[in-house]
Structure 1
Amino acid sequence: MKWLFVFLVLINLGLYGFSKLDTPPANINITQREINASQVRVVTGQLGKTSEPSSNPDSPPAALATEAPSPTPSPKPIATALPTPQATVQASAGTCWRWAGVTGEQIENARNKIKSLGLTASETSSGESTKVWVYMPPLDSLEIAKQKAQQLAEMGVTDYFVVNNGGRWQNAISLGIFSTREAGERHLAELKALGVKSAVVRDRDDTLKQASFNFKNISDAQAEKISKLPATFTGSVVRELKCK
């Protein structure tokens, strides 16, 4: 029995030795595993810093990773506060009107009418100090005189009215009454410069006493009342003027 046991042991030892001799030893080239190992870097997320080389020689070389630089933010436009426009409040100063061509006994009635309307006016009349009159001689009809007056307005003449009182100077066009002949002649020269050709200057005629009334800062409601005055005072006219 002992020899049988020894014999089996020897057989096992022989099989073990034969298996070791039959298997070729593994040829491991350690240098191949360490090719470029010193260049391996592990990115930690911060630029300019690298980790130590990998301690595992079996791991393949890691590719270098580069973090893209953050784009530089564009500067935001600075909002500039614009000055707040201030509302310009311009109070209306009203309009200016002239009521002219009031003659003879109508003058006193016109003064009373102005007071009854609650208005204030400056009066210009041919009193005792009036010496000369600038006018255009009577025309053939009232219609022609009105047409001529319209032409005067288009030429820039502002102080005029058509005489329509049925008297000696019916259909004449008054262009102003002055206290001195020098003032009358000066006004006549201004009219000639505007293109008025038929105007003349004459001494004051007592039969044509006349007055005009100037109104300033008139509201629309007051202007409507003034515009209706010629309907009551024959021969008078009203017109809107530029305020001075």
Structure 2
Amino acid sequence: MLRFFFWIFLILNALLLALNFGFLGNWSSDVREPLRMKYEKNADKIKLMNANAAQDSIEAHTKKMTPVLACLELSGFSVADSKSFDEKIKSLALAERLTRTELAEVASNMVYLPSLGSKDAAEKKAAQIRKLGVTEFYVVQDQTPLRWGISLGVFKTPEAAKAHLANLVKKGLKEAKLAPRTVTAAKINYRLENLSEEEKQILDQIKSGFSQTQSQECKNSSE
């Protein structure tokens, strides 16, 4: 029994001596160190990939949640039409996002009805025109051959005047004519900024009721 314990004690001392001199330690570290480095390297890669994926996800989500805003310029409203337009867009609460500009515009292409001979006849015709859905016109009362006729619009270009004339003829005003007549009229322009997609759709619907106006994206948007 004593001999058995002697050999156990001797073997243990031999192992401790080998560890102290590095015979086993070098081998162990040679095996473990590359594995540790490999895992640490892979762990860094995994963390980096996760960070990039997270950033991409955040950016995609932010882009999705950010509303697409629009800026529109509407031009060519008469004073009467601009008042009607102002009433229709009140519900949008545009406030400081809306800029309204009044300009004096010289036009020389007139669409009109010839003189009806008297004020009563002109007013009766005016009532018929309203029933056709035409709202932008006025009875001429100045001392000219056109007195008691009806102006249906004055335009800067012949093309615009002809297009309006064709539209009126389709509605039933077959007696409407086109003639040169220089008139200075007030025109109202609008600039509407930071519009949501829903607001833009509503404005497009409202604008469709004003056939003589033009719409375009803002040239110099302040968004």
Bigger helix share: 2
Q: Same fold (TM over 0.5)?
A: no
Given the two structures, how large is their TM-score scaled by the length of structure 1?
0.38
Bigger strand share: 2
